[in-house]
Structure 1
Amino acid sequence: MGGSRRVGNDPQRKERILAAALEVIAERGVHRTTHRAIAQRASVPLGSLTYHFDGLTEILEQAFAHLARTMARYYGDRMAAANSRAEACEAVVDLICGPGYATPGQFVLLFEMYSYANHNDAVREAARAWMGVSRGFLSAHFSPEACRALDALVEGWSLHRHFERDGGGPDRALVSATVTAVAERLG
């Protein structure tokens, strides 16, 4: 007997698909991410992807936007806990040297996002928005010029930390002195 098959309501399915997409991207890279790999990782039927998204491009766009929001929450929470400029400087040092800002997997995803942003306007806008949000969190304690410089330090030094894993990352005293110098010089 024919007819439509009724599928139970799964309100978390879309979020599971996006989380699975990020896992697949971190593992394979954007260039080797497929609908099938995402569906398999999310443990959903392949048709669920086309039900929730217009295509792979939209999945990638929304997954990277989700990544930026996740990173922003940690960044924002760390900066919001600072009650003085000295504490804000220490928070920036923690973002650079501490283990909490970005895991190795999140760094891989950030690299993939930045690279894909060169070819996708929506992801480029998500990356640009992420930069604006991070500078916004810094602006509670620093001048606009210092925010730009400190945000670049967080991104750049974190990149170095990721690739220099065997070296233990940047020297905390050097990072602290640099962050403090930027904050004092640029206000």
Structure 2
Amino acid sequence: MATGYADPRRREHILAATLDHIAAEGVAGVSHRKIAARAGVPLGSMTYHFTGIDDLLREAFTRFADHIVEVFDEYLGGAADTEQARQAVIDLVHTISDGPQRDLVLTQELYTLAARRPEYRELTRTWMARSRDLLERHFDPDTARQLDALIEGLTLHRALDTAPHDRALTTEAVRRITAA
């Protein structure tokens, strides 16, 4: 999509194009030229809005992490009691794993980057802390940490398995972790 010079949303177009590009080609394929072309903006816009590729990647992945935290909040925010929170966690696992492949790819790209680079590790730690804070509205901190890891693991397993497990397994896993 071509945008005019005075487009006040140019920065957002660039960030969205960056996430789209990463989902399609991976972090290794990111360049100013490729992102500018995907965003439909002049190449000079890249250095005007971002100090470099790392700045662009950090902001794009921060935007993505914010999106996932919003999904967590959408499910967990309405839970009035522990049983509703358990059901929200189950629904969350299945919604994310059955959701857009793009989100799965972006998550794994960020994890891979974080495994190699401390500044991205901090971004993922912040994301995990925010997710756990939402879980801690309903569960003690240790249970919230275990549930957060369970959500990540079951989501990945369901998304990548040729015969993903059903809700019964997710339900049993959540109940085991949350049994008091």
- State the TM-score, normalizing by the size of structure 2: 0.93
Match of 2:23 among 22, 26, 35: 26
Contact 1:95/1:101 (8 A) holds in 2: no
What is the percentage of aligned positions where both structures have the same residue?
Answer: 40
1:181 partnered with 2:176:
yes
Which residue of 2 is the match for residue 149 of structure 1?
146
Matched, 1:128 2:125: yes
Tell whether 2:110 aligns with 1:105: no
**Count of matched residue pairs:** 177
Q: Aligned equivalents of 1:8 and 1:41: distance in 2? A: 16
Is residue 63 of structure 2 the alignment partner of residue 63 of structure 1? no
Q: Is the 8 A contact 2:97 2:159 kept in 1?
A: no
Quick check: 1:74–1:101 contact (8 Å CA) kept in 2? no
Higher alpha-carbon deviation: 174-183 or 108-117: 174-183
Please, what TM-score do these two structures have when normalized by structure 1? 0.90
Task: Tell me the equivalent position of 2:69.
Answer: 72
User: For each residue in 1:86-137, what CA deviation from the matched residue of structure 2 results, as whole angstroms up to 9, or x when unmatched?
Assistant: 0100000011122588521111000000111123333211110110011000
> What residue in structure 1 maps to residue 156 of structure 2?
159
Query: Closer, same or farther in 2 for the Cα pair 1:89/1:11, shift >3 Å?
Result: same
Computing the radius of gyration over CA atoms, which structure comes out larger, 1 or 2? 1
Instruction: Return the alpha-carbon distance in structure 2 between the equivalents of residues 46 and 102 of structure 1.
Output: 33
Gaps (5+ residues) in structure 1?
1-6
Q: Supply the AA of the counterpart residue of 1:177.
A: E
Structure 1 residues 15-45: Cα deviation after superposition (integer angstroms, max 9, x where no partner): 1100000000111111111111111110000
Deviations along 1:58-86, whole A, 9 cap, x unmatched? 11111011100011011111100111100
Determine the C-alpha separation between the residues in 2 that align with 1:44 and 1:100: 33
3-state SS of 1:118 partner: helix
Q: What residue ranges of structure 2 are gaps of 5+ in the alignment?
A: none
SS of 2:116's partner is coil
